[in-house]
Structure 1
Amino acid sequence: MNTSRSRGRPLKSLSGTALAVLLTTGTLTAVAPEARGESVRTEASVTLSSTAVAGVTETVVRVKAPLPASFGARPAACDWLSYLRYRSSDGPTESADADRILVAQPGILEGAGAFDSVARNTVARAAEQGLHIEFWALDRRSNCMEDHTGIDSGDQHTAVDYYYRGKQVAGRRFAGFVGNDKLGWMAKLGVEQTVRDQYTLLTAELPDQGVRERKVLCGGHSLGGVITGYFAVADFDGDPATTADAGHRQCAGYFALDTTVSTSLADLSGSIPDDTNLPDIGLGHGVVQAGLDSGLLPRSLSAPVLLNAETMTLLAIAGLGAIQDPGGEADLPSYLPANLNIEATNRFLFAKDAAAFLTGSPAVKDFRLTNETVLGALLDDNSVPLAFLQTSVGFFDGGPIVDKSFPVANGGEEQPGLFGTAYKAIPDRPHGPLYTWRNYDRVGDADDPGYRSADGTPFTGAGKEVTDIQELARSLAEQPLDFTEQYFPTKLVTDLQLATSPQVKRLIVHPEGLTANPTLTVLAGDGLLAGRVPADLDPVVADGYQHLDVLTAAPTQNDGRPEPVSTSLTEFARNPR
């Protein structure tokens, strides 16, 4: 997930296509010894109720890494760094003994759980070839604010009661979604601390710099590619003349998943709605920082529809229902409490046209949907009208389907980077048949009705569907670290937007770091960067994939071939070049 805006225009403008390229030098200040995160570590097994790729062991690792005192008061959990560790079950137990370690930074509004499928697929694919690798899916520090109690109950109704009705679970009562006044410590959580956290984690887990330089592949998805770029050019000991601590000396290579490894957001433009609460980039770095420190500017990125902590929690709750009773008739739309935020989100996602959005009729609760269908409607590329949230998990089934013309009509050219290129569809019979979900691997089967748009265009086809809806549900609802990032630090984006400021320029100490190591670039064929990445990067293109599919795709595709992202990562791990 990602965002970008053009220089000299408000961040809320959707017309921006590029940002300043960061071409300057500076240094990262040395971190206090107490923030090195070397003293305390926990690792716990992750058990899943749903089927996962065999031969892969998953654990959740937490390393204590206190923030400097200058960050101010914060929850104790925010002095820890966390990641999901995936390794071959019959491989070495010590990370340093693995053949290769892939370390992945998530995109904007994205957590470690989003990497679940690609991590498993890559580790398993490598093991088939006799290569024992590890995949570390990083959680940014801001994910420490999330409360998993309701989701961890494993029951959809219990989760709704916990988060929205004030009921206790396991003796605990939800404290509420965190407001800006409680996020003061996040005012300083920008690029500098984010790359510092990655360095702290790597040095704690792999103390030998030579091992890191030989075995670690650094990369990320979406905005994670830009963070990887900043990591590559960083200096971590305050002395540019000593290079063992340089970011590029911690990696044997880089990988970019529907992104590029760079210090520019230009490739990722046009992917966030214009109603997010980002401040105007006409302000200088010092003014923005003062606004964040005082709370006059929001410290966490959000929007009133879909992109906020309350509504992102619904994705995990929908995943719970899809796991509990995939084909059962859903009552989630009716069971949720009525409030403006949830109602606006439901209308935005499930309105057939502008009239339905404005009147709220028919509403999502007027349709009979299975639990899987609810989840599909929330994240499938033929349903959700925001490109950076789209996956290709199948299609509606069980009754008449029509074009969804809100917020844009099918077949138009308006902002494809924001809305995506897939035709949008919606059930057409309220109080009618039970609408089911046709999973990705059943699209194109003999019994597929082959739904078409009013202009005769097929809504989808077998070559456009790549993600298993049950795997997606598992990633959303069963991971100890979230798929989403409910409290994304505004400063992380404003730092990048204000890249020409001295405060950000100084972070680029070793510009040669961007090209110091080989890079693998994997693009979603229908994703945000389709057709916009220079050919000299020699990208691998995953045909039919959307932006999130590079993380969520099933290990075997509809054409019977292995999943191309994990296949490419495995080959790169074997022989970076």
Structure 2
Amino acid sequence: MDTSRSRGRTAKTLRSTVLAVLLTSGAITVTAPDARGDSARTETPVAVTSAVAGVIESVVRVKIPLPASFGARPAACDWLSYLRYRSSDGPQASADADRILVAQPGILEGAGAFDSVARNTVARAARQGRHIEFWALDRRSNCLEDRTGIASGDQHTAVDYYYRGEQVGGRTFAGFVGNDRLGWMAKLGIEQTVRDQYELLAAELPDQGLRKQKVLCGGHSLGGVITGYFAAADFDGDPGTTSDAGYNQCGGYFALDTTVSTTLGDLSGSVPDDTNLPDVGVGYGAVQAGLDSGVLPRSLSAPVLLNPETMTLLAIAGVGAVQDPGGEADLPAYLPADTDIEATNRFLFSKDTATFLTGSPAVKDFRLTNAAVLGALLDDNSVPLAFLRSSVGFFDGGPITDKNFPAANGSSQQPGLFGVEYKAIPAQPHGPLYTWRNYDRVGAADDPGYRSADGTPFTSAGKEVTDMGELARSLARQPLDFTEQYFPTKLVTDLELATSPQVKQLVVHPEGLTVNPTLTVLAGDGLLAGRIPAGLHPVVADGYQHLDVLTAAAVQNNGRPEPVSTNLAQFAGKPK
């Protein structure tokens, strides 16, 4: 049975569709071993400072080895990890919680990206008298990441560790992992991804009846599609028995700027064509052979923005924004000369094509605070790619001009890729110190109200929803990353090849997609803006970008409760 909303899409169309969801980030104290023993499970408290009180966070690691057929791999990759959030007034045992929300991240996204929405949801439910938990899952391939430099809490130390070979605490960075060392990831597709979730749930909550009663399964972006495959999966090899079926591990589903489905058709947009995603037109067998041999890349990347080396910069920028948000940044000048870093800086900080081609003025020619650097990397009025953006405030402190690269403001050129928001950039190199106006200061009495050359305001209070400090903390202070440096190519190609027999056979229980109630929350300016699928009836968070459904602050500019966490908490109370 075809469980997709749309049929007959070409491989090229599906490639553009899936890549739209690209990214689309604590101090650790004592470890508390589980009753199963030190070798099976660890849970470590995470000590962070957050504006949201009454929430306890820990990082949980459970040993669930891959099958021997995956071949040689680092020992760390036989463990699954997640961030566990619970009420400080609630029960210590997850099984005693009123409800447990289990979230799958989007593509190139890690468990740390859920930090704000998890805290907000748990805290809101507690105020309503319910003690719930939120589990932010980290996919298995994140075992390859090394957080040592970020955990140092110092930008220069982090840069020296990752890019100059300097030691931190006696440890030397082993380097970003090349394709020749990723052989085990050649088989890390949708089948293993949903099985990982099943085995983790079974290990943490052994009672299937309790899972059905208390667990809500969902995700952000591509995580909604993964949830769809999980719901339709059979995990014991016998379709006639259903206690193991995916839909019987959850009492409901939630989708954050996505849909719970086994199709990529509800996600739109694209990224630059220079990603290394294989051409799936050659068929499942040929793609798998290419992954097995290493002829095809086993992790998804691109020269600009989307590779381990440049994504690490997001967390390093977060370190500076936590450490000294108002201090003048020296990160752009301190970074080593590197082709990928230079290309990324030009792509993100060029006002027009001429600036991109010449590299002048460069980002290091502007005086920026640490908060302004992070804003330039992630804010929706700065970042040109729609799926990488949050609404975190605006530049301040000096003259601002239009950013007309890679698309001109006011044009309709590839809106799915670049979005429709006007982009802005500091106008005066070697001039004033550009600061960052946080989301809740946009529209204040002292706001200059920056406008485009055509008179259009760049932003307004209703379009800003994410707090800079909270975003920086999620990037820099979480033990599990905000981003996903080594996303398995096979997970993408499997979903693009959904009609192939090898993938189609995984949808054993298609009825599982609709047998449980579903909450869908869409970003008003996100991936499905203006084209909500018929019959979906979602909650729409006005003014939100794709990442804002995860990062939005608990207190919003309109004085109303934050809509994503509010609706998740309500759904956790009584799924319907």
Normalised by the size of structure 1, how large is the TM-score? 0.94
CA distance in 2, matches of 1:12, 1:397: 40
Q: Equivalent residue for 2:29?
A: none
On the 8 A contact 2:266/2:533 being kept in 1, the answer is no
Deviation at 1:37, TM superposition (A): 12
CA distance in 2, matches of 1:288, 1:183: 16
CA RMSD of aligned residues (A): 1.8
Deviation at 1:15, TM superposition (A): 8.5
On the 8 A contact 1:391/1:548 being kept in 2, the answer is yes
**Higher mean displacement: 268-277 or 253-262:** 268-277
Are 2:156 and 1:157 aligned? Answer: yes
CA distance in 2, matches of 1:409, 1:52: 38
- Alpha-carbon distance change, 238 to 12 in structure 1, aligned in 2, over 3 angstroms: closer
**Higher mean displacement: 5-14 or 378-387:** 5-14
CA distance in 1, matches of 2:525, 2:371: 24
Q: Equivalent residue for 1:573?
A: 572
Q: Equivalent residue for 2:430?
A: 431
- Alpha-carbon distance change, 451 to 37 in structure 1, aligned in 2, over 3 angstroms: farther
Deviation at 1:531, TM superposition (A): 2.0
Deviation at 1:269, TM superposition (A): 2.5
Q: Equivalent residue for 1:371?
A: 370
On the 8 A contact 1:5/1:16 being kept in 2, the answer is no
Q: Equivalent residue for 2:201?
A: 202
CA distance in 1, matches of 2:187, 2:513: 25
Unaligned runs of 5+ in 2: 1-5, 21-35
Deviation at 1:12, TM superposition (A): 9.6
Q: Equivalent residue for 2:391?
A: 392
CA distance in 1, matches of 2:252, 2:416: 28
CA distance in 1, matches of 2:437, 2:546: 21
Q: Equivalent residue for 1:223?
A: 222
CA distance in 1, matches of 2:118, 2:37: 25
CA distance in 1, matches of 2:382, 2:39: 47
Q: Equivalent residue for 1:257?
A: 256
Equivalent residues in 2 for 1:57-456 (5 A)? Answer: 57-456=56-455
CA distance in 2, matches of 1:291, 1:362: 42
CA distance in 1, matches of 2:268, 2:486: 21
AA paired with 1:512?
E
Q: Equivalent residue for 2:33?
A: none
**Higher mean displacement: 201-210 or 529-538:** 529-538
AA paired with 2:139?
R
CA distance in 1, matches of 2:239, 2:249: 15
AA paired with 1:99?
D
Q: Equivalent residue for 2:23?
A: none
CA distance in 1, matches of 2:528, 2:492: 19
Deviation at 1:533, TM superposition (A): 1.8
- Alpha-carbon distance change, 14 to 81 in structure 1, aligned in 2, over 3 angstroms: closer
Q: Equivalent residue for 1:42?
A: 42
**3-state SS of paired residue (1:231):** helix
Are 2:472 and 1:478 aligned? Answer: no
On the 8 A contact 2:17/2:270 being kept in 1, the answer is no
Q: Equivalent residue for 1:8?
A: 10
Are 2:540 and 1:541 aligned? Answer: yes
CA distance in 2, matches of 1:16, 1:100: 31
- Alpha-carbon distance change, 566 to 15 in structure 1, aligned in 2, over 3 angstroms: closer
Q: Equivalent residue for 2:25?
A: none
CA distance in 2, matches of 1:531, 1:350: 29
Deviation string for 1:197-239 (max 9, x for gaps)? 0000000000000000010000000000000000000000000
Deviation at 1:80, TM superposition (A): 0.2
**3-state SS of paired residue (1:143):** helix
CA distance in 2, matches of 1:339, 1:78: 30
- Alpha-carbon distance change, 323 to 39 in structure 1, aligned in 2, over 3 angstroms: closer
AA paired with 1:386?
L
CA distance in 1, matches of 2:322, 2:256: 27
Unaligned runs of 5+ in 1: 19-35
Deviation at 1:16, TM superposition (A): 9.3
- Alpha-carbon distance change, 253 to 13 in structure 1, aligned in 2, over 3 angstroms: closer
CA distance in 1, matches of 2:17, 2:141: 29
- Alpha-carbon distance change, 208 to 38 in structure 1, aligned in 2, over 3 angstroms: farther
Q: Equivalent residue for 2:492?
A: 493
CA distance in 2, matches of 1:475, 1:114: 6
CA distance in 1, matches of 2:309, 2:125: 38
CA distance in 1, matches of 2:341, 2:191: 35
On the 8 A contact 2:226/2:262 being kept in 1, the answer is yes
On the 8 A contact 1:440/1:467 being kept in 2, the answer is yes
AA paired with 2:256?
L
**3-state SS of paired residue (2:492):** helix
- Alpha-carbon distance change, 12 to 275 in structure 1, aligned in 2, over 3 angstroms: farther
- Alpha-carbon distance change, 173 to 122 in structure 1, aligned in 2, over 3 angstroms: same
Deviation string for 1:135-180 (max 9, x for gaps)? 0000000000000110011111100000001100000111110100
AA paired with 1:196?
R
CA distance in 2, matches of 1:398, 1:5: 51
On the 8 A contact 2:18/2:267 being kept in 1, the answer is no
CA distance in 1, matches of 2:7, 2:545: 21
Q: Equivalent residue for 2:28?
A: none
**3-state SS of paired residue (1:541):** strand
**3-state SS of paired residue (1:268):** coil
CA distance in 1, matches of 2:553, 2:170: 38
Moved over 3 A (4+): 4-18, 36-39
AA paired with 1:145?
L
Deviation at 1:271, TM superposition (A): 3.2
AA paired with 2:88?
S
- Alpha-carbon distance change, 202 to 340 in structure 1, aligned in 2, over 3 angstroms: same
AA paired with 2:10?
G
On the 8 A contact 1:151/1:317 being kept in 2, the answer is yes
On the 8 A contact 1:278/1:490 being kept in 2, the answer is yes
AA paired with 1:62?
R
CA distance in 2, matches of 1:218, 1:273: 31
On the 8 A contact 1:106/1:222 being kept in 2, the answer is yes
AA paired with 1:74?
R
Deviation at 1:51, TM superposition (A): 3.0
Deviation at 1:17, TM superposition (A): 11
AA paired with 1:91?
G
- Alpha-carbon distance change, 399 to 387 in structure 1, aligned in 2, over 3 angstroms: same
Deviation at 1:7, TM superposition (A): 4.0
**3-state SS of paired residue (1:557):** coil
Deviation at 1:92, TM superposition (A): 0.5
Deviation at 1:416, TM superposition (A): 1.6
**3-state SS of paired residue (2:280):** coil
**3-state SS of paired residue (1:537):** coil
CA distance in 1, matches of 2:289, 2:68: 18
CA distance in 1, matches of 2:454, 2:266: 32
Q: Equivalent residue for 2:50?
A: 51
Normalised by the size of structure 2, how large is the TM-score? 0.94
CA distance in 1, matches of 2:565, 2:159: 35
- Alpha-carbon distance change, 12 to 156 in structure 1, aligned in 2, over 3 angstroms: farther
CA distance in 2, matches of 1:53, 1:9: 44
On the 8 A contact 2:14/2:496 being kept in 1, the answer is no
